[in-house]
Structure 1
Amino acid sequence: MKVMVTGAAGFIGSATTLRLLARGDEVVGIDNLNDYYDPELKRARLARQIDHPNYTHLTVDLADRAGIEAAFAEHKPQRVINLAAQAGVRYAAINPHAYVSSNVTGFLHIIEGCRHNGVEHLVFASTSSVYGANTTMPFTVHESAEHPLTLYAATKKANEMMAHSYAHLYGLPCTGLRFFTVYGPWGRPDMALFLFTKAILAGEPIKVFNHGKHKRSFTYVDDIVEGVIRVLDTPPAPNPDWNAAQPDPATSSAPYRLFNIGAEQQVELLRYIEVLEDCLGRKAIMEMLPLQPGDVPDTEADVTDLAQAVGYKPQVSVEQGVAAFVDWYRGYNGVL
């Protein structure tokens, strides 16, 4: 089938695109190649797919309404995976307008394109950050997530609500995926694993917030991509048993679903660093710092629903995943 992937030169978007191409799908990739981080890394990811006969790349910003409308009108995708977004929880303090432009206005342009062009299924990236002030572990999509602690999380919560309204009003099948701390080869330079590896190899200190005590459901990128594609292949149907008197936020009377996607096993940050030290053969110099404003102390994913719906089961351990990242990092950057 023909699939539109936004953020196609991004970390998860490029990996998803390659998997779709490998199984014989046609992919229309959208990415504006902005400079939030080094565009050369984005171009290097893009180089892996740009010459594939079933790949078409469009350098368009999601906030460009006319550009997105033209992309849908010309290419008529059957299904859409929206992974493009202004990422990062801390950059919002510097440039909050970028989050609304890309994550809210841009998302509106994508969902409008789906609505007016007969798209069969929209799969979109949300985030575990929407759980915000929730403290009940593991995080489940069946509980309310009404208290995001960052603008990034708030924009992703807005995406979930916008998608539900379109599923209800226009019958557009929509599935939102709340990603939990994705890592692996070709990752973003602003993420902890990238920053830690660069600093340790340079003999520089790493900043360890919350004194390394917080825990995350670290999830290897290939496990994420597997889940995304399984979900893409399984459009949601309306749920006739949905009870408006006791509403379940994970489903609806409309063709709409929300899932957590991530590894169920929590790993403490200090253990994550220890695994990285083992892979690099070097010890980290750790600068212990308090928890940053807006950071969630712990995350833990309940992926029971995703396992039941599409057979999702992460396969890659943190030890395997970090080792794969280190191998890629050394090769990509030419360092020993």
Structure 2
Amino acid sequence: MTQGVSRMDVVVAAGRIEDVAVRTPLLRSDVLDALTGGEVWLKPECLQRTGSFKFRGAYNRLAAISPEDRSGGVVAYSSGNHAQGVAFAAKLLNMPATIVMPSDAPGLKVARTRSHGAEVVFYDRLTEDRGAIATAIAKKRGAVIVPPFDDPFVVAGQGTAGLEIARDLEAMDKTADFAVVCCGGGGLASGIALGSGLPVVPVEPQGYDDVARSLVARKILAVENPGPTICDALQTLFCSPLTFGILSERALPGIWVSEAEVMAAVAFAFRELKLVVEPGGAVALAAVLAGKVDVRGKTVAVLLSGGNVDTEMFTRCLRESA
């Protein structure tokens, strides 16, 4: 058992989501291997239902709610990917869902959240407390709160992607040295560490490197002077005791990538891998492409965590990385 979540919890989650989640493949690229000098296996969670890994944790959490407690529905807070995951999971399980989203969330993510039948409540991410808003709504309606990362069921659900990585590599008689993972609140990174058994390198956007700094300080530190970033999916201001506890035991030093490096990764994924990846979902690939994670002579797994990107942002990434 690690900080309230065990690998067995991940195995149980895998059974729970098996019939509803996409078992995304591991992909390789000769071009990527030649550029990096390593054997890079990509886990394209941009191909997951709702366009990101978040569906795994959301469905695992909602499916674990007892039938007698489902009538009040669920309340979640998210900039978009967790929102869509929870909304779709609730739709599949016939539960009402309310999502507290920042007013500057990408229009695509808001529209898709609503398309699954969820109610959207907006807030200002810099001046209002989304957790407090969600708590008030949940109390009024008798709903269950589904956090984006600070929940054992959510972490275990995200860990199913790591379990798949481990099983696929084993089937090929291969062993990876570590995994490179996109990181906001640490739910995916800690889940991958548990599910795969691999050390993980958490990668964050420039200006949002609180997990990397927290690992060095050995205590949870918040983002300093948060500002705009194209990686809207990773604008988490701090990790949780749950995810930090797991990462403090299992993570390698964290790193950050610049917006130019992220845009280059989005463009590379489209041009060379034929995949649409959103900026927040491309930070791990950006770290490898930029040489900030040295993979020479190593076998590594790299998460492409989401693909929900507005046309305007996607076009900008392609244009500025031409």
What's the TM-score, normalizing by structure 1?
A: 0.32
Q: Which entry has the higher C-alpha Rg, 1 or 2?
A: 1
What's the TM-score, normalizing by structure 2?
A: 0.33
Larger RCO, structures 1/2 (Cα 8 Å, 6+ apart): 2
